[in-house]
Amino acid sequence: MRFEDIAEGVELPELVFPVTASAIAVGAIATNDYETVHHDKAAAEASGVPNIFMNILTTNGLVQRFVGTWAGPEARVRKIRIKLGAPNFAGDTMRINGTVSRVDKIVGEVDVAVSGRNGIGEHVGATVTLYFPERSAA
């Protein structure tokens, strides 16, 4: 994506992410989250949920991957505001969509509003602020 081509209202291509037990467990291990609800179905069921579920750090990584893949290597993540909703249980699919909500051509910043939904509802809502250092007038 060329910074010059970014405008408010631009929609990012959807990312369809299969929420597999392996993806959940590997994401939890990679982020040093050893809570049993992220890798042990019996422990998850004992806590009152139907299956293992994704941790917040994996979700955060997927949001960054989604926006970063669209923006390209020149963009830097400056800030992420993230809110979790419905859990991402193993066996579901998350669809991540995004729209450019703010462009500051002087500072070189872009905000992207992100929503990741699964079969239950919205799993994640986020705003990602990107910075394009070579485009900054500051």
3-state secondary structure of 37: helix
- Rounded to an integer, the average pLDDT of 91-120 is 97
- Rounded to an integer, the average pLDDT of 47-55 is 98
Q: How far apart are CA 40 and CA 120, in angstroms?
A: 21
Average pLDDT, the chain: 95
C-beta of residue 113 within 8 angstroms of C-beta of residue 77: no
- Mode of pairing for the β-strands spanning 92-104 and 15-19: antiparallel
Alpha helices in 1-138 (DSSP H): 21-30, 41-46, 56-71
> pLDDT band for position 135 (50/70/90)?
low
Q: And the tokens for 4?
A: 């010059």
Short-list 66, 63, 76, CA closest to 131: 76
Tens of pLDDT, residue by residue over 1-22, are 789 889 999 999 999 999 999 9
CATH number, domain at 126?
A: 3.10.129.10
Provide the domain limits for residue 79: 3-135
Prediction pTM value: 0.93
What pLDDT does residue 134 have? 79
What pLDDT does residue 137 have? 52
Domain count along the chain: 1
| Backbone phi, psi, residue 73, to 5° | -70, -15
